[in-house]
Amino acid sequence: MKMETLNKIFEKAFEKKKALIIIGNYGIGKSQIVYQWGEEKAKELKKKLVIWHQLSEEEKKKFIEDKKLREESFILVDIKLQSVGDISKLSGIPIIVNGNNEHKVFWELPSFLKVLSYPESSGILFLDEINMASPSLQSTSFELLLQRKIGEWKLSDNILIVGAGNTLDVNISANVIPKPLINRVIFLRFDGFDKDKWIEWAVEKGIDTRIIAFIKAFGELIVDADEELEQSSRPRSYELLSDMIKDEDDLDYIEEVAKGLLHKSSAVKFVNFVKLMDKLDYEKYIKEPETFRNEKGDLKYAIITMISKNIDKIKAKDLANFVKAVSNSDAEFCLLLFSLIRAEGKKNKLKEILSALPENLTNRFFDILA
């Protein structure tokens, strides 16, 4: 499914107050698309995206008390149902208040449901691992998905409810989702990002440029494990790898982390790719662009990555001359270079380079800044 189509479905479901369930393989980016849509929707509404589980208890309390804070925020609540355990963490608990002659029972909701029930609140309730939950938790989750409420508490009309789970063929512990539920929600099968869409996301998120270039060169975004106790390569794997190796140049460390997060074949290829970069004299290619044109593909990816990682050491004028020299024969590598510079968080440097290019090339590559 195209990302444009998926985003349109999210948008229409939000508008029409319909629930979604996304089913797919593990680690392929189901959570990622929910977070990505949340970021884009928050920007559209000119609100601040708030990730609920990242807040302190004091900050959560402020959201319950402060209407203006709720109005200014787009709140994403991410519940991993398999790890919730006690159903009261989702449904709340009854509280008995003793009076003089009678007892009253009040239902105390979890703080996130309290916040999401205010009419001015907007955001996403993301019920992940929905088919891994206990039967009682599933029942409560289905009430939220179908009726947008728990008991007498109703969610705001501005809340998109999304469930997600794994297919039965990749997780034998998963439960079958009842057909009556499937027929009453928008049930989507997600097979993962294609390489180019993942790279677009990775650039915006500042994923380690060595990983972006590796995926661009080898396309190993998803590789399944051959044995039971063995890692698979997944989009999630590369995101974790980026967190662990960002700003790290220790090759022994990078190798061990890659082995711990990627399929063995992907880990070997990635480590060899990083080692190849470590031996490169990137300055030679800046000074002598014709040598770049004569290199083979995987080496070109390594060269471009090294240039992006050392961008602060290179004069904008020199890099503009390099781009001019190779743009006709290697335009895709110029575009990759600009993307990696963005991923390094060097947008101002990128503007300097583009401003030093002839107008025809500036216009040709300007969309990279969009």
**Same-domain status, 230 and 212:** yes
**Same-domain status, 305 and 346:** yes
Q: What is the DSSP letter of 176?
A: P
Where a domain ends, among 139, 154, 189? 189
**Same-domain status, 26 and 105:** yes
Give the phi and the psi of residue 360 in degrees, each rounded to 5.
Answer: -65, -35
User: What's residue 98's pLDDT?
Assistant: 64
**Same-domain status, 108 and 214:** no
**Same-domain status, 348 and 214:** yes
Note whether 188 and 9 are within 8 A (CB): yes
User: What's residue 81's pLDDT?
Assistant: 84
**Same-domain status, 151 and 70:** yes
**Same-domain status, 138 and 277:** no
**Same-domain status, 243 and 347:** yes
Where a domain ends, among 137, 160, 189? 189
CATH number at residue 158: 3.40.50.300
Number of domains in the chain: 2
User: What's residue 361's pLDDT?
Assistant: 80
**Same-domain status, 152 and 120:** yes
Joined together, the tokens standing for residue 297 give: 């593909």
Note whether 119 and 156 are within 8 A (CB): yes
Pairing of strands 186-189, 73-80: unpaired
User: What's residue 242's pLDDT?
Assistant: 97
**Same-domain status, 90 and 224:** no
Ranges of residues in the chain with a pLDDT under 70 are 85-86, 92-107, 169-174, 364, 366-370
Q: Return the closest-CA partner of residue 251 out of 273, 266, 230.
A: 273
Q: Kindly report, residue by residue over 23-64, the tens digit of the pLDDT.
A: 988 888 899 999 999 999 999 999 999 999 999 999 999 999
In terms of residue numbers, what domain contains 360?
195-369
User: What's residue 325's pLDDT?
Assistant: 93
**Same-domain status, 142 and 288:** no
List of long-range contacts for 322-330, beta carbons under 8 Å, 24+ apart? 322/285, 322/286, 322/289, 322/292, 323/353, 323/357, 323/361, 323/365, 324/357, 324/358, 324/361, 325/289, 325/290, 325/293, 326/289, 326/292, 326/293, 327/361, 327/364, 329/293, 330/292, 330/293, 330/300
Q: How far is the C-alpha of 36 from the C-alpha of 38, rounded, in Å? A: 5
**Same-domain status, 15 and 31:** yes
User: What's residue 366's pLDDT?
Assistant: 63
Q: Kindly report, residue by residue over 90-141, the tens digit of the pLDDT.
A: 776 666 666 566 666 566 778 999 999 999 999 999 999 888 777 778 888 8
Where a domain ends, among 155, 189, 223? 189
Joined together, the tokens standing for residue 9 give: 């479905």
